[in-house]
């Protein structure tokens, strides 16, 4: 294994794009026109959205233009090994600020995505963080995008956190701050426990102290909390079946989507649109397709295997047993359409050092894409006292 860091450019082969084009052209869509249950959101992605997006894919979508835009972000790969697992080829964005002042050097910031996202979640927030004096490292998590995944079973959040820390150290960052949503928030919390002398502060836009379904009684909640709890309950009841599929049969669903870009689009678009706050973002066909291709090109299975490797009740049992004693300060931006919800009094008991929290009126699960300026402002404010 080499510790070399190599420049990387996305370059999907023409042969793969030709095959993709044929598959999309030949896609067969069911006809739900005029069927009431075919257009209501809770039943899944609607036929109107699918037909519009597939038509756009066939006639207007330009992957090479998207590829060129993404390649404007400086990207690299390096091989990192942790005990018990194959070395992982980690793909990451590494963008350095030019805005540092003489009195305060640049602050290294590790930005981590989740599922169904990818490293491209950093794209809109990146210039805002660079302008604020951060060196930004935004990896593709193991098994996502252009990062590999180990053959061995058991690659949970804990070894994943070790990989992310070793990436930062390899880049010369012995001390750094972390921002994460979804899986990124859980890996970040794990890093705070494993590396308290290196992680100076952690900011998250998803923070829960228990798995789905464990919410307090309604009479203990404020009006805002009741709405957030209702959203979380709706997600548990009507939107979380994908977790059971990923957790139990990731290979099966992986085979289905590996050969069907339009099937992968349906799985992705359902989550992207339903998990967002429509007051904050309207997903364009280009965005839906691009986010889908970040999973389709490498193959979607390994990103789904993460759910199987992290049985969340067991993971939270381990995490929350240690977290009350954590000294790393945590900042939390809560957006009302987030899928999970834990009231602040419960968080205060469970999280060792919840040092900062801000509640927003608009926004959902994909804060970096839905409200990049708002999330960036929170990150900059919270990290202020902990910067080098």
Beta bridge partners of 78: 5, 90
The sign of the torsion formed by the CA atoms of 64, 68, 69, 70 equals: positive
> CA 231, CA 237: separation in Å to the nearest integer?
10
Whether 170 and 102 have beta carbons less than 8 Å apart is answered as no
Q: Catalytic residue, from 160, 182, 203, 334: name it.
A: 182
Whether 149 is a known active-site residue: answer: no
> CA 120, CA 92: separation in Å to the nearest integer?
10
Give me the residue label for tokens 């009479």: 219
Nearest to 234 by CA among 37, 42, 39: 42
DSSP 8-class letter at 386? G
Tell me the two tokens of residue 135. 């060196």
Q: Catalytic residue, from 160, 307, 360, 386: name it.
A: 307
Nearest to 157 by CA among 197, 191, 180: 191
CA 119 to centroid of chain Cα atoms? 8
What's the CA dihedral at 189, 191, 192, 194 to 10 degrees? 130
Cis peptide, bond prior to residue 116, ω within 30 of zero: yes
> CA 36, CA 29: separation in Å to the nearest integer?
17
Q: What are phi and psi of 54, to 5 degrees?
A: -65, -40
> CA 200, CA 179: separation in Å to the nearest integer?
11
Whether 365 is a known active-site residue: answer: yes
Whether 1 and 81 have beta carbons less than 8 Å apart is answered as yes
10 Å Cβ neighbour count for 333?
27
> CA 245, CA 263: separation in Å to the nearest integer?
15
3-state DSSP: the chain helix, strand, coil percent, rounded to 5? 50, 15, 40
Whether 33 and 314 have beta carbons less than 8 Å apart is answered as no
> CA 198, CA 328: separation in Å to the nearest integer?
10
Query: End-to-end alpha-carbon separation of the chain, Å?
Result: 32
Residues with catalytic function: 182, 307, 365
């Amino acid at each position: 294994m080499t510790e070399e860091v190599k420049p990387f450019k996305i370059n999907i082969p023409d042969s793969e794009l030709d095959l993709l084009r044929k598959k999309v052209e030949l896609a067969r869509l069911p006809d739900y026109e005029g069927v009431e249950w075919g257009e209501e959101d809770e039943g899944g992605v609607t036929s109107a959205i699918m037909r519009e997006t597939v038509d756009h894919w066939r006639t207007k979508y330009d992957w090479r233009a998207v590829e060129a835009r993404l390649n404007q972000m400086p990207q690299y790969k390096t091989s990192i090994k942790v005990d018990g697992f194959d070395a992982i080829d980690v793909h990451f964005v590494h963008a350095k600020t030019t805005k540092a002042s003489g009195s305060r050097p640049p602050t290294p910031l590790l930005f981590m995505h989740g599922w169904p996202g990818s490293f491209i979640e950093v794209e809109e927030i990146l210039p805002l963080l660079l302008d604020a004096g951060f060196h930004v490292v935004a990896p593709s998590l193991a098994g996502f995008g252009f990062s590999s995944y180990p053959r061995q079973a058991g690659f949970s959040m804990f070894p994943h956190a070790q990989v992310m820390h070793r990436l930062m150290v390899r880049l010369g960052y012995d001390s750094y701050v972390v921002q994460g949503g979804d899986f990124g928030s859980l890996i970040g919390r794990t890093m705070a426990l494993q590396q308290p002398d290196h992680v100076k502060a952690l900011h998250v836009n998803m923070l829960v102290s228990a798995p789905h379904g464990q919410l307090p009684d309604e009479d203990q909640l404020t009006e805002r909390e009741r709405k957030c709890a209702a959203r979380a309950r709706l997600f548990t009841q009507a939107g979380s079946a994908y977790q059971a599929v990923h957790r139990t049969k990731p290979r099966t669903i992986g085979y289905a989507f590996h050969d069907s870009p339009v099937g992968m689009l349906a799985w992705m678009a359902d989550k992207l649109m339903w998990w967002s706050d429509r007051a904050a973002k309207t997903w364009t066909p280009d965005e839906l397709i691009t986010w889908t291709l970040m999973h389709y090109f490498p193959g979607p299975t390994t990103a789904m295997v993460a759910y199987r490797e992290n049985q969340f009740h067991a993971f939270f049992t381990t995490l929350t047993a240690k977290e009350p004693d954590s000294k790393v300060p945590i900042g939390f931006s809560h957006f009302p359409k987030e899928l999970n919800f834990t009231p602040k009094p419960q968080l205060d008991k469970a999280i060792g050092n919840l040092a900062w929290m801000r509640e927003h009126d608009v926004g959902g699960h994909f804060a970096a894409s839905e409200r990049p300026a708002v999330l960036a402002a929170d990150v900059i404010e919270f990290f202020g006292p902990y910067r080098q």
